[in-house]
Amino acid sequence: MEAKELAQYLADAPPAVVRLEIEKHFEALSDKQKRYAHFISRASFAGNRIVLRQVSPESEPIYDFIIALHKASDGDWKALAEKAGVDEEGLSAFLQYAAQFLGNSGNYKSFGDSKFIPRCDEKVFAALASTSPEAEKFYKATNGGIFSSDKQGLLHLGFPDEGHLTTYYPDSPSITKDEIEAVSKWMQAKGLLPENTRLKKAEDGSFELLIASGKTSPPAEGGDIGKDTEFKVEGGALDGKTIKLVYGDYAPEMSAIAGYIKKAAENAENETQEKMHLAYAKSFDEGSLLAFKDSQRYWIRDQGPMVECNIGFIETYRDPAGVRGEWEGFAAVERTKAFGELVRSAPELIPLLPWSSEFEKDKFLSPDFTSLEVLTFCGSGIPAGINIPNYDDIRQSEGFKNVSLGNVLSAKAPDEKIPFIKDEDLEVYKKYRDASFEVQVGLHELTGHGCGKLLQETAPGEYNFDVKNPPISPLTDKPVTTWYKPGQTWGSVFGGLAGAYEECRAELVAIFLSCEFSALKIFGFGDGTTDIDGEAGDVLYASYLSMARAGLVSIEFWDPKSQKWGQPHCQARFAILKCFLEAGDDFCKLEYKNDDLSDLTIKLDRSKILTSGRKAVGDMLRKVHIYKSTADVEAGAKYFTEMSNVGLEYWGTKVRDVVLKNKQPRKVFVQANTYLDEETGKVSIKHYDATPEGIIKSWADREA
């Protein structure tokens, strides 16, 4: 690969290492609450090796290699480098790579799904490995995976038959996208949920569904679809093929996780928490996603706990098919009911969205919405906000919960640069960027992911709408003709596009409703009256500027080779930038004088946000919402793909080149560890420096 192409895959130098500040919030907990948080934290981190294996074949040995080097050097990296004959530059390249690796729980970016490679020669890593037999063993086990870049398709996660890398379909080089889809349809018909599974294709053409569970055989009373574990498919693309259910994927890890979760149940504050953790434990022991769904029902009912958590195979962004979940777990301390007023106001805000009540939930199920301080987050990346569970049937009838992660939002990288914002906008942008982001996250999670009805045939012949007089589509002015059939979910219908599509819908809801000055007042800006030139107007302007800039810098995560997006949020934000640019009336433009676009800035007309800007956003939002609501995947996929289409010439080359030249490293977080004194029952906390060395030590201590 040419040096220019390879440059985009090099590790950040330096990575933006920041500390998740938690100590004062943790110390305010009671001893029992600290133990509860400790065991959830341990359970979460016990799944780290699952995340590593879900990223790439080499990620787990790379992790062990880094930990073995720390152990061999006892954290004295300079002495280790001297012993290895590695200079300061080489050591720095290793430490920076290790920090980025540990911050992403793998050697592919959690935000972008592209591989990153050390900024040094392979000889540096080989020399460091030679200082310790254990480190050398793990380095050899990576099979050259740290530096390999000869096949560009493998530098991106995706379907194997499209030349990309995935470990959700292990040891199955010949498995096709169509076969994966056919197995998904079979699972859907059987009622077998996919989140905790991997799919393996055997040489004889049969398939094995690997189910994550501590136990390596099916439960005596049967699994989620009974006692049978081998099925012959009748009809369809897999006619005559065999599908076997194989229990015990990640068995040692799942067993350890279940053990820690049972300990958390012993320290629960109430019966709801206890039942939640026992349902988790059953799910992790037996591989039951029906038990996991029960845990989520209890989780919704556990309102306003001092220690909040969720754990399991939750987000499906990284599976190319968009149905299998990545392991994640978090423990966090409640800070404030910061969004109580927003929750109370949601029933007045949601009817302002651009569709009729027939496309909205019959009743808004007021969720718990709190701002949390993260103690532990194990997964490939830490989000700023969360809205779960992801199961449509639970969300529609029982509700959901929202959390905003306060110490993630407030964590600042030193010397952060802000390209593409005009000089005259920098002051207001810097002053109100954080505030506008909090507004965006709040509205995105609560009203964005929380709004909307899926028109469904819930069981044969039963509907959640009047099928004899279907709702009139605002897009065609005719009765709708499509809806979800029994067994179908939003994710199963929209497949791999579902993640990016839903993120786009939620972002659009947030920027549409942020034009309501009554909503800005909830967050402490203005008195609720429309004033685009006041402080609330500053927040609104910063919000639209932030979205436009986010859409522009997103182009980093589009791959020119495959012409595909590697990150759902980025695809969503780019589509919204195009919506701004196509709004007309000179609402939003990219301005530059230089041919190479090196002076590129965003020109957004503040005075037109409430007119041309909001109209364009509303028009796009109406389309993506109605297509989702009515299961119209054909029209929805076509529209969203057009809006997020990049193309090679202008966006994919000229704009992307200047974005890559100005790209800023993403934050990687150093997290604390907790320690239980078995004799006293007291839990202590240990923090680490916000340095590459600090993040390595935090993980080494976790392993110890």
Q: Which residues are catalytic?
A: 445
What is the maximum alpha-carbon separation in the chain?
79
Task: Answer positive or negative: Cα dihedral of 97, 102, 103, 104.
Answer: positive
Spatial CA neighbour of 373 closest among 27, 12, 35, 5? 27
Q: What are the angstrom distances between the C-alpha of 501 and each of 212, 625, 633, 639? A: 28, 10, 11, 10
Structure-token match 């990687």, residue found: 668
**Phi (first) and psi of residue 480, to 5 degrees:** -65, 150
- H helices present in 410-459, as ranges: 423-443
Integer Cα distance of 151 and 4 in angstroms: 15
Q: What are the angstrom distances between the C-alpha of 163 and each of 151, 320, 322, 647? A: 9, 12, 17, 20
Integer Cα distance of 308 and 330 in angstroms: 8
389 preceded by a cis bond (ω within 30 of 0): yes
Spatial CA neighbour of 370 closest among 295, 293, 298, 442? 442
Integer Cα distance of 7 and 117 in angstroms: 9
CA 360 to chain centre: 25
Does residue 383 sit in helix, strand or coil?
coil
Does residue 371 sit in helix, strand or coil?
strand
Structure-token match 């130098």, residue found: 13
Strand partners, 163: none
Helix-strand-coil split of the chain, %, nearest 5: 45, 15, 35
Strand ordering across the sheet containing 385-388: 307-315, 326-336, 368-378, 401-405, 385-388
**Per the structure block, which two tokens stand in for 376?**
């532990």
Spatial CA neighbour of 493 closest among 696, 351, 631, 641? 631
Q: What are the angstrom distances between the C-alpha of 177 and each of 162, 172, 501, 635? A: 9, 12, 20, 21
- 442 Rama class: left (phi>0) / alpha (psi -120 to 50) / beta: alpha
- 278 Rama class: left (phi>0) / alpha (psi -120 to 50) / beta: alpha
